[in-house]
Structure 1
C-alpha cells in the first residue's frame, strides 16, 4: 500500500493500516487524543522502513531523530474496532531535520479523521544536533524515483 510521486515538494508516501483497540479509547468510547501521535509514529516508521531506513540501524550508528514539533488537527473521532489508514509523507529533508505530514482516514478513505505533522531533528547520542547522514538523505531522495 505504498506509492510515490505525491506532489510538489513531497518526497515519498506510505499508507499503513491499523485497527483501533479497546485500550486506545476513552470513557466516551472514542480514541483518546494522544493515540493519534502514536499512530503518526507507526506511519513514520513504516515509511522509513519502505525506504530501507531502519531506526535500529540508524541508532546503532549513533544517530537519533527526536521529535521537536507535533501538530494534530482533530476532524472526526475514531472508535473502537474501526480500521484506519495512516497516510504519511515526507515534506522536506533539511540539513539536520525532517518533516513528516500525516493524515488518518477511515478505511474507505471517505472521511479524513485527523491531519497533522511531526518535525524531527537529527542528533548524536550526546543530544547535539548534527547533519543527517548523506546516505540517509540519498535513500530518501532515491525512493521518489
Structure 2
C-alpha cells in the first residue's frame, strides 16, 4: 500500500497539564500525515471537491502506547489500507530518533456525493481506477 510521513516537533501548546501531548492533538497529527498521503495520490481535499465527492471521517481510533513530550521530534506515518469501499488509513506515531512506537490509530472515510448528499457504499469507479493505476 501507499504511505507518507511527516515530522513534527512537539511544542508547548501541544501539551496538557501533565506535560504530555494532549490526546486531542493526535487528531491534528493524523490529519497532517493524511494530507501528505492524499497529496501523494493526487487526491487531497481540493481534488475531492472537484470530483464532486466529499469524504467525511465516520470512524476514528487512537491507541496511546507511550507519551509524546515537549521538544520531542516525532514521525507520523499514514498508510492507505483500503480504498475499494471506503478509505481506511492507518497511522503510526514514532520517535524520530529512536523509532519507538508512541501512538497508533486509524480513520475511516466514506464517499458522499456532494450534490445529493448521498453516501456511496463503494468508492467511485474513477477513484478505484486511479488507485489501481498507482499500485
Q: State TM-score, norm by structure 2.
A: 0.89
Matched, 1:140 2:126: no
| Post-superposition offset of 1:127 | 3.0
Partner of 1:66: 56
Q: State TM-score, norm by structure 1.
A: 0.83
| Post-superposition offset of 1:41 | 1.4
Partner of 2:17: 27
Q: SS state of the match for residue 135, structure 1?
A: helix
Contact persistence 2:73–2:97 (CA under 8 A): no
Residue-pair matches, total: 133
Q: 5+ unaligned residues in a row in structure 2: which ranges?
A: none
1:68-87 alignment, distance < 5 Å = 68-87=58-77
| Post-superposition offset of 1:109 | 4.5
Matched, 1:92 2:46: no
CA RMSD of aligned residues (A): 1.6
Cα distance in 2 between the residues matched to 1:53 and 1:129: 18
Q: SS state of the match for residue 100, structure 1?
A: strand
Encode CA deviations 1:82-118: one digit per residue, 9 max, x unaligned.
Answer: 11111111111123x1100110000125210001111
Cα distance in 2 between the residues matched to 1:135 and 1:21: 40
Q: SS state of the match for residue 91, structure 1?
A: strand
Cα distance in 2 between the residues matched to 1:138 and 1:22: 43
Q: 5+ unaligned residues in a row in structure 1: which ranges?
A: 1-10
Q: SS state of the match for residue 118, structure 2?
A: coil
Q: 1:128 to 1:17 in 2, by over 3 A?
A: same
| Post-superposition offset of 1:47 | 0.5
